Every structure is written in structure tokens, then in C-alpha cells.
Amino acid sequence: MNAPERPESFERREPELPNALPRPAGEFEALKRAWKSPRGLSFITDVNNTYVGIWYVGTAFLFFILAGILALIMRAQLAVPESDLVGHDLYNQLFTMHGTVMMFLFAVPAVEAASVYLLPNMQAARDLPFPRLSAYAFWAYFVGGLVFFGTIFFGLAPNGGWFMYPPLTGTKYSPADNADWWLLGIGFIEISAIAGAIEIIVGVMKTRAVGMSLDKLPVYSWAMLVFAVMIVIGFPAIILGTLLLEMERAFDWPFFIAERGGDPLLWQHLFWFFGHPEVYIIFLPATGMVSMIVPAMAQTPLVGYRLIVLALIATGFLSFGLWVHHMFATGLPKMSLSFFSAASTAVAVPSGIQVFAWIATIASGRMKLTTPSLFVIGFLFIFTLGGLTGVMVAMAPFDWQAHDTYFVVAHLHYVLIGGMVFPLFAAFYYWIPVASKHALSERLGRWVFGLMFLGVNVTFLPMHITGLIGMPRRVYTYPVDMGWDALNLVSTIGSFMIAAGVAIFIYDLARKFRFASEDNAGNVWNAGTLEWLPNGQYATRSIPAVVSREPLWDQPNLSKDVEEGRYYLPGTATGGREALVTSPFDARPQYILQIPGAGWQPLLAAVFTAAFFLLLTVKLVLPSVVCGVIAIGCVIWWLWETDPGPTRPPADIGGGIVVPVYVTGPMNHSWWAMIVLMVVAGMVFTCMIFSYLFLWLVNPSAWPAQGFVPPHWIWAAIAAALYIASAILIDRASGNLRGEDRRSPRSVPVLIGIALVLVSAASAVDLAAQWRAGLSPSAHAYGAAVYALVSYQIFFVLTTLVMGLYTIARWLTGKLDSVRRTTFDNTMLFWYYTAAQGLVGIVVVHGFPRLTGGI
Amino acid sequence: MTALRTGQVLLMLAGLIAWALQFLLIYGATSTLCGREWADATFLGLGVVQASILIATVTALAATAAAFAWSLRGYRSAEARPVSAADRFMVQSAALVNGFSLIVILWQGIPAFILPACA
Amino acid sequence: MLSCALALASCSGVQSALDPAGGDALRIYWLAVIMTVGATLIFFAVTGLLLYAIFAPPERRAWLGGRNTIVYGGLAFPIVVLSMLLPYGLIVMRDTDVRMPGALPIEVVGEQYWWRVRYPGEDERPAFSTANEIVIPVGRPIAVSVTAADVIHSFWIPNFGGKIDMIPGRVNSLNFTAERPGIYRGVCAEFCGDQHARMAFDVVALEPSAFEAWRTNQAKPAPEPDLPQLVRGRELFRTGGCGSCHVVRGTEANGLFGPDLTHVGSRRTIGAGQFPNNVGTLAGWIANTQHIKPGVRMPSYGSFTGEDLRALAGYLESLK
């Protein structure tokens, strides 16, 4: 028998505690004061992850209920054949909204929301590194999501399916605003998801308990890290997709119109390059939750930690090689399909690893059959079945039959409800004692589980057969004599059983959930991880040093010592809110991060960003632009208070460790965030290049269109030279802005100013060259693709412009010097990126047509 | 991040990166060759599509096998010498990831033996 | 669980993947059966182990509580099973939907929300068009080439094999062979707008001689009406402007917008597989198109008197 693995360090003696008792008077009070929430209405301006996390989870759950109600209406319509309960128009809106809301407004936000709440607690961090960014992401999602959902009450909801395939969603076949609500509403909520992902990556890598090295990271943190990286890689594809389709709808740039060189399949590639990873983006955090719940319920460490980490990382990679399995029937060569068949087969293995790791863990301990356990068991049951039908549809010939039928409806609901909703309910039952005065009722919990579990199987098991005997998806009704009637009626009954279970859950929630931080229900499950430490709004009183993956089990006095302030940073060094930044591998303390507290800025910025997009949807361009400008103003106002500089000398956090309260360069958290942002931008750009090449491939004889003479190469050379020159000037400015003596030379704003002129000129030359050559963006997909690349670059140059002027303003007001230069560093990184992207764009736009002999 | 850490991360992900590149290459080659009807060309007696899949697969397998061997060696020496827990974790995970990747890369190449190039 | 599907396999259905009527559908059917049996066994094994891990006495289940469980159950077992399944699946893929020499070519265009069908000329047999119905000979390979005129549709006859998307700007193909005469039903499988739910077609598999007879008849122009009421119907068809959208070969009706009606009376159903074809349904369709199938391109012609409607429908019904 293999003993459950335990890190060797467990054998070692605990180190001396870093801080001695008694703690100085006023230390704890100062900590509490720093983290106190504003009173009254201003309460909503707090950015503490505890509050934002709860609001965020609550909003996501609200959308789960709303989208669930839409599903019940659909099931009622389908209960009998030829029913006229709801008409085709409403039904098409219902299924579009059900899918869209469940995916974009429930599933992704829910797992992101849960991590805003849980992640810092689990890593004993005081907060996420960018709390205002979380608040911004939440409010943008809250306002945008509710308005988006509201369209269903006015018959304005999108009705082209959650996958929005053009040409059906193009202007010609969907002239009304319904499709625009999807494109702008969802495009905007994706931005909020990306903001959250950046936060999570930096949070997992940099704000952890001392000594929580990568081998001791909770599996949930690993899952969230992979999740966030997947969002960063996957979401740009759909952002670009929505951008291109909206440009086609608004300006008639024919990316997807076959008559003018576009191709509807381009959308499908972009959509599913996001859409398939999306499934794992939802699933992985849920498995992370399960990997936390199972050890607590079985009272034994997780078996196979490394194998689970392998499974998470492998799933993260492989899920990007699956997208065409949603396109098996599109007529691509069999060889191409087979690659995706193979990868779809391979991705089953990591899931198998995780399932057996949980079984092994359960076997090695003693599973208590609590409500969280029941939901975990239900998850394993339902998800295993869904995974097996997943392997079936991975075989292309079988999928040719099953695709777009109720078989796939059954499969995807088994995978998503099994793989995400059940773990989420397990998580609700499991973690509510951290956030509430009382745990939820175990007695009612059994009813909730029983009804949901039976309901899911009664609803979706028959659908496998309904699909194979010929019922296609997305039909608002069906003929009488097809043999589908009884199966559909059973499915409808099942769906109301699920609803009954969820209703009892809501009742229990209303009865038992009372928000609490200090006086929460406590460690009711005797779990071993740090979120069960005594907690306040400041998170833990002191930041513990951990020696294993289950510190509460292996360091018996940990709770008491942490609460008494005997571990690191038991107070506040700068008087404000702080987090301890640790090194990404070994989690050694690096510096104290001064984090901003409550403020109206993120809230207002989010509301006006939402207003910008929503007003744009209804074509109120001027008010929309005004809101956009106000939103940018709010962001600048918000940023102005950041980058505080070294407000005090390095501070002693205990145990003789003295760390600075401000650092710059690659150690800095915002440097990391900027790198991640650049990856996002680079992925959008890469997808754009892919689109360009894809359109070339479908237009063998017209790239560029016959008769068009591309601009002379001298234009390309001038633009390239200008980009390079501007980057060199920024590099010079950076060189001048060095030294421990806090100098702020006058050359810095001057160099930035000149560089701004050069970079603007570069993009202007780029645009003018194509325009003067007579290239039209709407005549042919070639022109559309070129102008898409050029406009994307112009957007970056405009952003650089704002950042450059902001940096100059910081210098003018004395907030920028050779030590306090985070603002400059961020601008510099972004500048290098913009210049590099501009150069690549020039090479493609000017070089590729020459290379392929189009000229 | 230090060069050592970067190296550890790259070693840990080597097999999966090799798979990603293999995938990109074989899918890109098939799409381009079939899309432009260049698929009738031959290379080393094989159809050009099959040949590119085989070359990509063999290269990716070789690279991953090397990474696997390298990480296994690290695995053993980590057992023998006291190193930091994070270091040991990285090298052990690398061995697992690279070993798994070998299978995936192999599977990814199978279609070349079964299917026609562009039908 | 999924083996319920097997129990139903013997059921016959006019639109069922579980009632294969051709080689391709049968090959996929066996793939489905094998995978279903395998998946069911694996499912019971995994849930059995899970329940054992929970409920067996600790000393009995201890062997299950280690890393080996993961290595054998989660890694080795799936790798072995999938290493067999993947090549099998690929071989089925290779052998399914293969273009055969001597295949009967048929061209189908998906439109919102009906099917334009064209049989190209072969040897001395002329080309002709029809709609919403595909008639095929048993035993001869069929090569359907598909595209779409407006949005994406998907062409699917479950009894004969998988589906193929109809995409504007692309021409895809689907190859199959019918091995059993009979009436089958095809359906649009890709959401294509308002009336996606009502976009089906009939598939009639005939013995080769019957097929040739059908084909010869379809290629002919429309029969001349031989009753006064039918003549009146033809006149109403002309004056009502029907010919600006519909073709009736042999008359001046030459509109290409809607379905070819030259032999509409010979088809089994109308409205893209919605209603059995008879005078009553034809009349109802003409008068209430937008009520029956809201969103289709054809307006309701509610201004006809009952008598006119009967004459018009009678004329159409006579176009055998």
C-alpha cells in the first residue's frame, strides 16, 4: 500500500514564531481601522475581496436562477409536440439567452467570483493585489449583465444562438439590434473576465502565505492559475470575433460575407477557439474546489497531488487543440478533423487522473456523508457519464450523427451541470460557514441534493436517445409522430425537479445565510487549509508561515498563534491596507504592497464603461462617447492615487525579516500584470493575423483583390522607422530615470513627448498609405483584413498616447522620479509592445501580399 | 524570475509545448496544402501531407523524449540530494508532464497512417 | 444506463440514427453500439469503485487509497482503451462518406426554410429541379453536393449517415448508399433562423427501375390541366403572380425565388416536410402561410375566395 504522500518538511520542527507576545497596544486597532468599510451608502464603494467576492457570487447565482427560469419555459414549450405556449421568436431568444447567460453571466463569473472570495483566504493573503480592479470587474459585470438580461423583456434579446453564427447574425439576416446586444454586451463582459484573470494570476503567483512554495500551493490555487492563463489565451479569440462581426454589422466590412471574399467559417474558428477551452475554463476551478472538499470530508490529505497538478496543466494545454470538434460537420478534410479527434481523446486522460485521485483519497480516509460530500459524489457520477459520452462524440463519425441533436444537449448538460454546478453547490455548502454566521441546513441539503440529482438524470438521460432517434437541437417545436413525445415529457418533468431542488436551496439560504467575517460559523468541517483560520475584514491577523499543504492539521497551534499576531506582519506598516508580496516559487517575503481602499472610482468607471457599450448598442453614439470619456477620466482618477512610492523605510514584519514597502521592476506586481495584459493583447493580435491568413487561404486568386496596387514599400519603411525611433526614445528616458537619489530629470517628459509624436505619426503613415492606395475596407475581405490590423494598431497608439500624457502629468506634479517609477515602467512596457506590434503588422500587411506573389 | 526558474518552468512544460507546436504545424500544413491543392506533391516517397505530419511528430517526440530523460535524471538526483521542496516539485512534475506528453504526441500522429490526405 | 439506447435499437424510425438503412449509417451505428457498451461498463466500474471507497470497511478498501489507483485507473487504463478506440474511430471515419465512382450526383441548396434540389443531367437523361424531396435509387452510391443560398444550414438524413453543413460560399459533399427501399426523413440540423424547426424533407428510396421512371417523369414539363376547374386553377396561378417566384416548367411561370412546382403534386409533403400533400393542405398553406410558418418568404394569400383557393390547390395537386 502506498501511504498518502506528505511533504518531507512535515517532519521538521516548526520554526520559532516570528513575533513575540504581547503585541504593542494599538497595533490591532490600527489594522482594523485600515480595513474598516465605509458606512452608509458608501458601503458599496468598498473594494475588499470579502465584500466584492460575496456580491460577485450572489450576482452570478442570480443569473443562474434567471437563466434556469428561461430553461423551464423552454421545457414547458417542449413538453408536448406542436405546442404554442411560446412562439418561435420568443423561443429563439430563450435558448440564445439561456446559453449565453449560463456561459457568460453565470459560469465564468461564478468561478471567478468564488476565487475573489476564496483565493486570498486560502493563501492567507490580506486581499488580492488589485482590489479596485476586482471591484471594477464586478460592477461592470453587474450593470452590463442586468441590462443585457433585461432585453428579453422587450423582445430585443439576441436570437441567433449563443454561438452567433454569421451570416444569420449579419446585418442582412438580422437587421435589428438583437445581435448587437450580444456582440457589445458579451464583448464587454469578456473584458471584465480578463480583468479578473489578470488579478488571479498575479494573486496566485505573488500573494501567498510565507513558505507556501509551489509544492504546497492548494490545488484550488493551481486550478485557478491554469484557469486564468486559459482565459488570457482563449478569450482574445472571441473578443476579436465579436469585434470583427460588429465591424461587419456597423461598417459593412465583409469578414464573413462569402460574396465579398469573407467566410462564415472564420467566425466558427474564432468562436470555438474560445468556446471549447471555455468548457474547461468552467470545469477546472470546479475540480479545484472538489480537490479541497474531498480531503476535508475524508479527513485525509489528497492522494496524488503532483498527478492532479499534471492533470490541470495538461488539460489547460490540450483544451486548445479541440475546437474543431464543434465543426466536424463543416466539411473540412478528414485529416484535419482527425487531429482534433486525437486531441479530444487525449484530454479524457487528465480527467480520468482527477477522478481516480478523488476515489483514492476517499478510500484512504473516512468519508463523512455531509451535503458537500453528496454533491461531490453526485458530481463524480454525472460528470463521469458526461465524460464518457464526450469520448463518444470525439469520434468524428459518431459526431456526424450526434452533432446538433439532443444527444449533444444531453452530453453538454451532463458535463457542465455535473462538472460545474454540482461542485459549485458542494462549494456553497462547504464554504458558507466561512462567510456566514450559520452553516446551511444539512437536513434540507439532502432534499436539495436528492431533487437536483434525480432531476438532472431524469431530464438529460432520455435526451441521449431523443437525439439519436433524430431530434435536432434548437427547435421551438416538433412534429407529433416522430416518437419523441414521451421522452420530451419526461425531460420536462425532470427539469422541474431540478428547479424544486434549487428553490429549497434558496429558501435555506434566505433562512441561514447571514454575512459575517469575525463571527463566522468557523471550521465546522475540521478542514486543514488556511481559509478556515480565524478571520476578519483584514483577513488573518498575521500572515502565517506554513510547512505543509494542510497547515491546520499539521501545525496544531496555528489558528491561535495567527490570531494573536505571532506570525508575520501582525499590524500595518504604512497605516493603510497592505498585502505581503512573496516570491513566486518559494513564497519568501519580498515586499509590502500598499493596496488602495474603498473609493467611488472603480464603481463609477464601471458604470460609465457599461453605459458606453450599452448606449453604443442602441446607436446613441454621442452620449456613448461622452460616457466613454467619463469612464477613462474615472480610471485616471483611480490610478492617480496608486503608485505611492516608498512612503516609509523598509519595515520589520517579524522574525528579523525587513522588507521594503515599495519596489519597482520585474519584482513589482503591476509589472507582472502588465506582462499578462500584453499577452492578452498579443493573443488578440495573433488571432487577427490568423484571420488574415485564413481569409488568404479561402481567396486563392484575390489577395489582394484584382487590380489593387498595394502602397509602395517606402511607406512601410517610414512607419517602421518611426516606431523604432519612438521605442529608442523611451529607452533613453528610462536610462535617464535611474539612480537611488530620487532624481527626476527634465529630459524624461521631453523624450516621452517626442516619442508620442513619432508613434502617432507612425500609425498615421500606416493608415494613410493604404487609404491613398485606394484600398476600400468594404469592397473585399482583403481590405477589411488590412484595415482591421491597421485600426487595431491605431487603438494601441491612442492608448499609448493617453498613457504617455498621464506619465508626463505624473512628472509635472512631482509624482515620478528614479525610485518612484512604476507608472513609467508600465508605460514603457506598453510602449515597447505597441511598437513591436506595429512592426509585425507592417511586415504582414506589406510583406505578405508580395511574398505570395499577389503583386 | 531567475534563469534557473525559467528553465524549470520550460522543462516542466516542454512536452506540452512540443505538442502544441506539432499540432499547429500539422493542422496548418494540412489546411494550407489541401486548401491550395498542393497536396499531390510528394516528399521522400510519401504524400507531402503525410510527410509533414510524420516529420512534425518525430521531431516533437524526440524533443519530448529528451526533456523526459532530462527530468528523470533530475528526479533521481532530487531524491538523492537535499534540494528545496519547490525544486523537487518542479522536476518531478516535469517528469510526469513530459511522460504524458509522449503519449499525446504519438496519438496526434496516428491519423497520418490511416486517413487519405485531403478527402 | 446508455444501454437503454440498445433496447430501442430495434425500433424503426423514419428519422433515426438507430435504424440504419445504408452502409455508412450501419458502420456508425456499430461504432455507437461498441462505444455505448464500453462506456456503460466503464461507468459502472468507476461508480462501483467510488461506492466501494465510501462504504467498504477501511481495512478492505485500503488498497484503493494510494497513488497506484491513479496510475492504473486514471492513467494506464484510459491510455490502453483510448489507444484502441482512436484508430478504430479513424478507420470508421476513413470508410464513411467516401466518394464512389458511378455515384448519382444530386445538388441541394439550403434556403430559409426549404431545400432546393437539382438532379444534374447524366448521359442523355436531362437535368431537372425539384424541392423538399429527394428520391434515390437503392444500391447505387449517392453523391450529394450541398451549399446554402443565405445562412448556414445542415443536411442530415439520420438513417443514411451523418450530417454535412451547407455553408454559403462553400460546396460540401456527402456520400452514402441506400440499401433498403422506404420513406425516410431528413432535417436541417443547424439553427438557421425563425423556422429552423420546420425545415425538413422527405427521402424516398426506390428500386432502380422505379427511380428511373420517377426521374423520367420529373424531367418532363408540367402536365396540361384536363378539367375546367384545373384550367381555372392554372389561370389563378398566373394572375395571382405565383409565377414570379415559382417555376412550373411548360408554363410561363419561371420565378426562381421559391421551390420548383412543376411536379409539386407528386411530392409527399408540402411546407418543407410539414404537412401531407393534398388539396386541403395546399389550400390552407396558400391562404395562411405566415400563420402556419411565420417568417417564411412567401406571404399569405388570404384574398382568394374559397372556390378560387380550391381551384388553385387542385391545379397544384394535379401537377404529378
- Please report the pLDDT score of residue A519 as a whole number: 84
Helix or strand run (H / E) with residue A658: strand A657-659
Segment A93-119 shows an average pLDDT of 96
Residue C4 has pLDDT above 60, yes or no: no
Mutate to test the interface with B, among A5, A229, A310, A693 (most CBs of B within 10 A): A310
Q: SS3 breakdown of chain B: % helix, strand, coil, rounded to 5?
A: 80, 5, 15
Residue A5 has pLDDT above 70, yes or no: no
Query: SS3 for C106?
Result: strand
The band of A15, judged by pLDDT with boundaries at 50, 70 and 90, is: low
Look up the domain containing B79 and give its range. Answer: 3-113
| Angle, alpha carbons B92-B98-B104 (nearest 5°) | 145
Mutate to test the interface with A, among C16, C59, C82, C93 (most CBs of A within 10 A): C93
Give the tens place of pLDDT for each residue, B89-98: 999 999 999 9
Which of A610, A628, A659 marks a domain boundary?
A659
Give the tens place of pLDDT for each residue, C119-163: 999 988 999 999 999 999 999 999 999 999 999 999 999 999 999
Give the tens place of pLDDT for each residue, A310-335: 999 999 999 999 999 999 999 999 99
Decide if A20 is inside a domain.
no
Distance from the Cα of B11 to chain C's closest Cα (Å) equals 21
Give the tens place of pLDDT for each residue, A562-588: 999 999 999 999 999 999 999 999 999
Decide if A400 is inside a domain.
yes
Residue A436, Ramachandran bin (φ over 0: left; ψ between -120 and 50: alpha; else beta)? beta
Ranges of residues in chain B whose predicted pLDDT is under 70? 1, 82
Distance from the Cα of B67 to chain A's closest Cα (Å) equals 15
Tell me which residue of A680, A621, A614 sits closest to A142, measured CA to CA.
A614
Segment A366-386 shows an average pLDDT of 96
- Please report the pLDDT score of residue B43 as a whole number: 77
Residue A539, Ramachandran bin (φ over 0: left; ψ between -120 and 50: alpha; else beta)? left
Closest chain A residue by Cα to residue B99: A310
- Please report the pLDDT score of residue A442 as a whole number: 95
The C-alpha atoms of residue A388 and residue A415 are separated, in whole angstroms, by 10
Query: SS3 for C203?
Result: strand
Which cell goes with A225? 492559475
Tell me which residue of A278, A141, A125, A114 sits closest to A202, measured CA to CA.
A125
Place of cell 512610492: A645
Which cell goes with A152? 428579453
Pairwise CB contact (< 8 Å): A329 & C164: yes
Torsion from C-alpha of A650, A651, A654, A655, nearest 10 degrees: 20
A115 with A156, same domain: the answer is yes
The band of C9, judged by pLDDT with boundaries at 50, 70 and 90, is: very low
Interchain CB contact of A557 with B (< 8 Å): no
Distance from the Cα of A494 to chain C's closest Cα (Å) equals 16
Decide if B61 is inside a domain.
yes
The C-alpha atoms of residue A364 and residue A378 are separated, in whole angstroms, by 20
Contact A49/A138 with Cβ under 8 angstroms?
Answer: no
Helix or strand run (H / E) with residue C109: strand C104-111
A635 with A686, same domain: the answer is no
The band of A3, judged by pLDDT with boundaries at 50, 70 and 90, is: very low
Nearest-CB residue to A395 (from C31, C70, C172)? C31
Residue C8 has pLDDT above 50, yes or no: no
Beta-carbon contacts of C170 under 8 Å, excluding residues fewer than 6 positions away, are A258, A263, A265, A331, C147
Pairwise CB contact (< 8 Å): C98 & B119: yes
- Please report the pLDDT score of residue A301 as a whole number: 96
Number of domains in chain B: 1
Decide if A308 is inside a domain.
yes
Give the tens place of pLDDT for each residue, C13-54: 899 999 999 999 999 999 999 999 999 999 999 999 999 999
Chain B residues with a Cβ under 8 Å from any Cβ in chain C: 100, 103, 107, 110-111, 114-116, 119
Tell me which residue of A616, A646, A619, A651 sits closest to A631, measured CA to CA.
A616
Decide if B7 is inside a domain.
yes
> A259: how many CB neighbours lie within 10 A of its CB?
10
- Please report the pLDDT score of residue A7 as a whole number: 43
Residue A191 has pLDDT above 90, yes or no: no
Segment C107-118 shows an average pLDDT of 97
Residue A164 has pLDDT above 70, yes or no: yes
The C-alpha atoms of residue A565 and residue A533 are separated, in whole angstroms, by 12
Residue A694 has pLDDT above 60, yes or no: yes
Decide if A407 is inside a domain.
yes
The C-alpha atoms of residue C198 and residue C195 are separated, in whole angstroms, by 5
Give the tens place of pLDDT for each residue, A242-254: 999 999 999 999 9
Decide if B41 is inside a domain.
yes
Decide if B119 is inside a domain.
no
- Please report the pLDDT score of residue A594 as a whole number: 94
Tell me which residue of A449, A445, A485 sits closest to A465, measured CA to CA.
A485
Decide if A547 is inside a domain.
yes
The C-alpha atoms of residue C248 and residue A338 are separated, in whole angstroms, by 45
Burial bucket for residue A771 (CB in 10 Å: 0-12, 13-18, 19+):
middle
Number of alpha carbons in the 13 Å side-chain half-sphere of residue C320: 5
A262 with A357, same domain: the answer is yes
Pairwise CB contact (< 8 Å): B119 & C99: yes
A690 with A589, same domain: the answer is no
Interchain CB contacts (distance < 8 Å): A and C? 284
CA end-to-end span of chain A: 70
- Please report the pLDDT score of residue C11 as a whole number: 52
Residue A700 has pLDDT above 90, yes or no: no
A613 with A687, same domain: the answer is no
Give the tens place of pLDDT for each residue, A474-484: 999 999 989 99
Closest chain C residue by Cα to residue A2: C66
- Please report the pLDDT score of residue A516 as a whole number: 84
Decide if B24 is inside a domain.
yes
Decide if B48 is inside a domain.
yes
**Long-range own/partner contacts, residues B77-86 (CB < 8 A, 24 or more apart):** B84/A213, B84/A586, B85/A7, B85/A8, B85/A9, B85/A213, B85/A215, B85/A216, B86/A213, B86/A214, B86/A215, B86/A585, B86/A586
The C-alpha atoms of residue A733 and residue A756 are separated, in whole angstroms, by 13
Burial bucket for residue C119 (CB in 10 Å: 0-12, 13-18, 19+):
buried
Which CATH number applies to C228-318: 3.40.50.150, 2.60.40.420, 4.10.490.10, 3.10.450.50? 2.60.40.420
A589 with A651, same domain: the answer is yes
The C-alpha atoms of residue A142 and residue A113 are separated, in whole angstroms, by 12
Decide if B46 is inside a domain.
yes
The C-alpha atoms of residue C20 and residue C30 are separated, in whole angstroms, by 10
> A93: how many CB neighbours lie within 10 A of its CB?
21
If you average pLDDT over every residue of chain C, what do you get?
Answer: 93
The band of C6, judged by pLDDT with boundaries at 50, 70 and 90, is: very low
What Å distances lie between residue A259 and A47, A167, A245, A255, CA to CA? 51, 11, 16, 10
Nearest-CB residue to C28 (from A88, A398, A465)? A398
Which cell goes with A74? 423552454
Closest chain B residue by Cα to residue C95: B115
Beta-carbon contacts of B101 under 8 Å, excluding residues fewer than 6 positions away, are A314, B14, B15, B16, B18, B19, B64, B68
Pairwise CB contact (< 8 Å): B111 & C79: no
Segment C171-186 shows an average pLDDT of 96
Which of A468, A489, A512 marks a domain boundary?
A512
Pairwise CB contact (< 8 Å): A335 & B5: no
Interchain CB contact of C8 with B (< 8 Å): no
Mutate to test the interface with A, among C67, C82, C98 (most CBs of A within 10 A): C67
Segment A358-379 shows an average pLDDT of 96
Decide if A35 is inside a domain.
no
Tell me which residue of A179, A157, A46 sits closest to A93, measured CA to CA.
A157
Pairwise CB contact (< 8 Å): C92 & A307: no
Helices A781-812 and A747-772, packing angle to 10 deg: 170
Q: Which residue has the higher pLDDT, A189 or A91?
A: A91
Residue A2 has pLDDT above 80, yes or no: no
Number of domains in chain A: 3
Give the tens place of pLDDT for each residue, C253-263: 999 999 999 99
Mutate to test the interface with C, among B34, B114, B115, B118 (most CBs of C within 10 A): B114
Whether ipTM tops 0.85, in short, is: yes
Lowest mean pLDDT among A27-41, A51-65, A275-289, B72-86: B72-86
What's the CATH superfamily of C104-219? Cupredoxins -  blue copper proteins (2.60.40.420)
Tell me which residue of C78, C3, C91 sits closest to C40, measured CA to CA.
C3
Distance from the Cα of C32 to chain B's closest Cα (Å) equals 20
| Angle, alpha carbons A10-A12-A17 (nearest 5°) | 100
Nearest-CB residue to C87 (from B114, B116, B119)? B114
Pairwise CB contact (< 8 Å): A349 & C75: yes
Residue A495 has pLDDT above 80, yes or no: yes
Pairwise CB contact (< 8 Å): C67 & A362: no
Interchain CB contact of B80 with A (< 8 Å): no
Which cell goes with A651? 519595515
Decide if A813 is inside a domain.
yes
Could you state, in order of their start, the residue ranges of all structural domains in chain C? 4-95, 104-219, 228-318
- Please report the pLDDT score of residue A4 as a whole number: 40
A214 with A74, same domain: the answer is yes
Where are any strands of DSSP class E within A214-273? Answer: none
Interchain CB contact of A9 with B (< 8 Å): yes
Which of A462, A486, A512 marks a domain boundary?
A512
Place of cell 488539460: A315
- Please report the pLDDT score of residue A243 as a whole number: 95
Amino acid at A218: P
The C-alpha atoms of residue C50 and residue C65 are separated, in whole angstroms, by 11
- Please report the pLDDT score of residue A246 as a whole number: 95
Which cell goes with A502? 434549487
Distance from the Cα of C137 to chain A's closest Cα (Å) equals 22
Look up the domain containing A816 and give its range. Answer: 672-851
Interchain CB contact of A260 with C (< 8 Å): no
Decide if A535 is inside a domain.
yes
Distance from the Cα of A646 to chain C's closest Cα (Å) equals 49
